[in-house]
């Protein structure tokens, strides 16, 4: 089978390549409807994964690049066909306001930079796509929501698991009553952070925190969408087995619990100092579901009381960007929200978990 990449290579070898490519792109856009034109802000490792995944998108494509590294702008621009006029530095990207080839900016930088960059993108009149956590505190998240609302642009968060097929199947079963009344959720999320001290995850100002913001958010979010309720209270305890590597403000390991209105409870662990922790377990009066792995890039696997989960794996970031395009272009909302309000709910719980860990007391959520 001839792939799109093969076809582009063939066309590129011809003197007619440029006009033919323009015609091909125009025809494909016309056949599949409008396409969300996205600038990637921050060209790090995860951005590489997103960019590669977007090559299979049918409703979103890369039309802009923003980076503090000129060499990356040049190499990525050549690789993804982004002209120099749509490449920006961190200092100059406010100029996207004047670029009609960019509809949205996907913020892929460290957590501590998200809020300020989102405010600039919104002020430029472009839709804000932001990797999670949306911000490092609920107050920052609310600023982002307010700024996007004032600018009349959308704010969407990179909750790829909200669109993952096996995860959605468990949610469907829960809504259908296949598990009965929800009783218990367990979320284990962690890995051993081997990054050097120069890595942004070891920098409090850039990371905003430690394992809770990095991976614990998966357990928080998973408890919410799998139980199907919003928690009323949290308790938490932080431990550090390696305080030399995890200084003040960088949580290494936190055990936390969530209580829900129905009486269901969640018991969760987030850590940067233990490997092989990537599991969700949901228990009800009539059945159960286990996802393992539950938060990795896939394939997400698992089983329920009726057998294995067998939905087809599709690259998460491909599905996510197409879904974001559907929200912005067509107002089509996913089964589980991916908007700024969803991001804010997680941030409020994260704030409460940190407070509970510091105080040693239960913290009620309002």
CATH code of the domain made up of 161-364: 3.30.360.10
Q: Where are the domains of the chain?
A: 4-159, 161-364
Separation of alpha carbons 293 and 274, rounded Å: 15
Is 80 annotated as catalytic? Answer: no
Give the residue carrying structure tokens 């286990």. 290
Can you point out the beta strands (E) in 59-181? 60-66, 87-88, 104-107, 127-130, 155-157
pTM of the model: 0.91
Q: How far from 69 is each of 54, 72, 104, CA to CA, in Å?
A: 22, 5, 21
Of the candidates 88, 106, 159, 218, the residue annotated as catalytic is 218
pLDDT of the residue at 93: 98
The one-digit pLDDT tens for each residue of the chain (366 residues) are: 444 444 434 434 433 333 333 333 443 443 458 999 999 999 999 999 999 999 999 999 999 999 999 999 999 999 999 999 999 999 999 999 999 999 999 999 999 999 999 999 999 999 999 999 999 999 999 999 999 999 999 999 999 999 999 999 999 999 999 999 999 999 999 999 999 999 999 999 999 999 999 999 999 999 999 999 999 999 999 999 999 999 999 999 999 999 999 999 999 999 999 999 999 999 999 999 999 999 999 999 999 999 999 999 999 999 999 999 999 999 999 999 999 999 999 999 999 999 999 999 999 998
Active-site residue, from 88, 132, 348, 354: 132
* pLDDT on residue 29: 42
CATH 3.40.50.720, domain 4-159, yes or no: yes
88 is a catalytic site residue? no
- By the 8 A CB rule, do 175 and 228 touch? yes
């Amino acid at each position: 089978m001839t792939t799109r990449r093969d076809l582009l290579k063939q066309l590129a070898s011809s003197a007619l390549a440029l006009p033919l490519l323009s015609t091909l792109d125009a025809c494909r856009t016309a056949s599949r409807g409008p396409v969300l034109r996205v600038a990637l802000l921050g060209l790090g490792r995860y951005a590489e994964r997103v960019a590669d995944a977007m090559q299979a998108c049918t409703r979103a494509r890369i039309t802009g690049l923003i980076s503090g590294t000129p060499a990356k702008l040049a190499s990525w621009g050549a690789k993804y066909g982004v002209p120099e006029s749509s490449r920006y530095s961190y200092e100059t990207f406010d100029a996207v306001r004047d670029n009609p080839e960019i509809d949205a900016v996907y913020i892929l930088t460290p957590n501590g930079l998200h809020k300020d960059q989102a405010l600039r993108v919104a002020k430029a009149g472009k839709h804000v796509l932001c990797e999670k956590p949306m911000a490092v505190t609920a107050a920052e998240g609310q600023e982002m929501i307010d700024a996007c609302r004032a600018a009349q642009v959308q704010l969407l968060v990179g909750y790829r698991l909200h669109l993952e097929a096996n995860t959605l199947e468990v949610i469907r079963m829960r809504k259908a009553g296949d598990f009965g009344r929800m009783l218990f959720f367990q979320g284990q999320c962690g890995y051993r952070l081997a990054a050097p001290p120069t890595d942004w995850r070891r920098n409090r100002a850039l990371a905003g925190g430690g394992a809770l913001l990095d991976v614990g958010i998966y357990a928080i979010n998973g408890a919410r969408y799998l139980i199907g309720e919003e928690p009323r209270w949290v308790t938490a305890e932080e431990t550090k087995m390696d305080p030399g590597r995890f200084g003040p403000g960088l949580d290494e390991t936190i055990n936390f619990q969530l209580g829900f209105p129905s009486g269901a409870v969640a018991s969760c662990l987030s850590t940067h100092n233990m490997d092989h922790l990537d599991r969700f377990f949901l228990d009800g009066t009539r059945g159960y579901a286990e996802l393992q792995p539950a938060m990795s890039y896939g394939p997400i696997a698992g089983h329920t009381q009726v057998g294995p989960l067998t939905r087809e794996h599709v690259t998460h970031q491909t599905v996510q960007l197409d879904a974001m395009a559907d929200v912005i272009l067509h107002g089509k909302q996913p089964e589980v929200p991916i908007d700024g309000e969803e991001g804010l709910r997680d941030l409020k719980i994260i704030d409460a978990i940190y407070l509970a860990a510091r105080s040693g007391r239960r913290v009620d959520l309002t």
